[in-house]
Amino acid sequence: MKVLCSSVLAIEAIVVFLASLVASNNGSMSSQGLAIGVGSGIAVLLVLSVGTLRRPWGVAWGWLLQVVVVSIGFLVPLMFVVGGIFVVLWFIAVRTGRRVDALREAAHAEAEGQTAAAPAKEDAPSEEDAPSEEDAPSEEDAPSEEDAQTEEDAPSEGTA
């Protein structure tokens, strides 16, 4: 969510700043300095709000700034349209970002669950992997002394 919302806020800051320059030149506002000052101030707030998205209240702060940008439309009427477009983009960014975050968390939890359920072969053997008493060679399987002597007495194939 942070990436999408940050992108919207950064682009919005650029648009608001450029709109303030247009408003100062076309006479939409009575003072050029006021237009540039208000636009620059809001643009700076938008850029700084990118850092607040990590906080729980960051998205709410973003919504407040969307209201501020739309309200600039009372000074520059075209900003109602531009602000409305950014409100829609902000809504989409928040909604899609939350969905992506939820999917990412679910995939991460699933991967952690599979990792915990199936330990890697490189890990140390567990109690289940250790040989049991049933797997240990019994006395019946061990070669007897007679078998050992027979093997020693038998001629090797290489000797005649």
CA pair distance 23, 10, nearest whole angstrom: 20
Give the model's confidence band at 145: pLDDT under 50 very low, under 70 low, under 90 confident, else very high. low
pLDDT, one tens digit per residue, over 66-98 is: 999 999 999 888 999 999 999 999 999 999 999
- pTM for the model stands at 0.66
Residue 143 confidence (pLDDT) above 90: no
Q: What is the pLDDT of residue 69?
A: 96
pLDDT band at 152 (very low <50, low <70, confident <90, very high): low
pLDDT attached to residue 96: 96
Tell me what the pLDDT averaged over the chain comes to. Answer: 83
Element (H, E) at 148: helix 145-153
Question: Is the pLDDT at 112 greater than 80, yes or no?
Answer: yes
